[in-house]
Amino acid sequence: MADLKDLLQSADWKTEKHVPVIEAQDLAKKGEFFKITVSVGKEIPHPNKTEHYISWIGVYFQPQGEKYPYQIAKTEFTSHGASINGADTSTVYTHPEMSAVFKTDKPGVIYASSYCNIHGLWQSSRELKIG
């Protein structure tokens, strides 16, 4: 049996539509709130249809020198065109993008994960410096 960590996939988001893309400033000010945005399908759009969609995006931050990351946010996307009339008959669709605001006094790594109902778990990371 595989460990969960072995099921997380990663790739270059410019060539793979499932990878969560983390957008944040490279240098945050100590103790001041700042915004990060995470999306899936930035360069190559991910389908958002009843049969193929991104279910959720999770964001975590691991401060330098600490053993475990903190969960910053998790957003679920629940409208993919389904209705009582069948698949892709609704006009309501969500887009896999979310924003979160947090602050920290330590540099570290921002991690993002996402889940595609067909292609599984994906991850990415980005270093955060504190000035």
> What are the residue boundaries of the structural domains of the chain, listed by start?
8-130
Residues recognised as catalytic: 16-18, 46, 52, 116, 119
**Of the candidates 48, 39, 2, 34, the residue with the CA atom closest to the CA atom of residue 19:** 39
Distance of CA 9 to the CA centre of its chain: 13
pTM of the predicted model, to two decimals?
Answer: 0.91
DSSP 8-class letter at 80: B
Bridge partner residues of 116 (DSSP) = 54, 120
Summarised one tens digit per residue, pLDDT across range 83-98 is 999 999 999 999 999 9
Per-residue pLDDT at 2: 78
Summarised one tens digit per residue, pLDDT across range 97-117 is 999 999 999 999 999 999 999
Per-residue pLDDT at 12: 77
- Beta strand residue intervals within 30-119, DSSP E: 34-40, 54-63, 70-76, 97-102, 108-116
Count of all residues that appear for the chain in the document = 131
7/75 Cα distance (integer angstroms): 20
Q: What pLDDT band is residue 33 in, cutting at 50, 70 and 90? A: very high
Burial class for 61, CB neighbours closer than 10 Å (0-12, 13-18, 19+): buried
Output the CATH code of domain 8-130. 2.60.40.730
Mean pLDDT of the region 23-44 = 95
Per-residue pLDDT at 16: 83
Residue for token pair 């249809």: 49
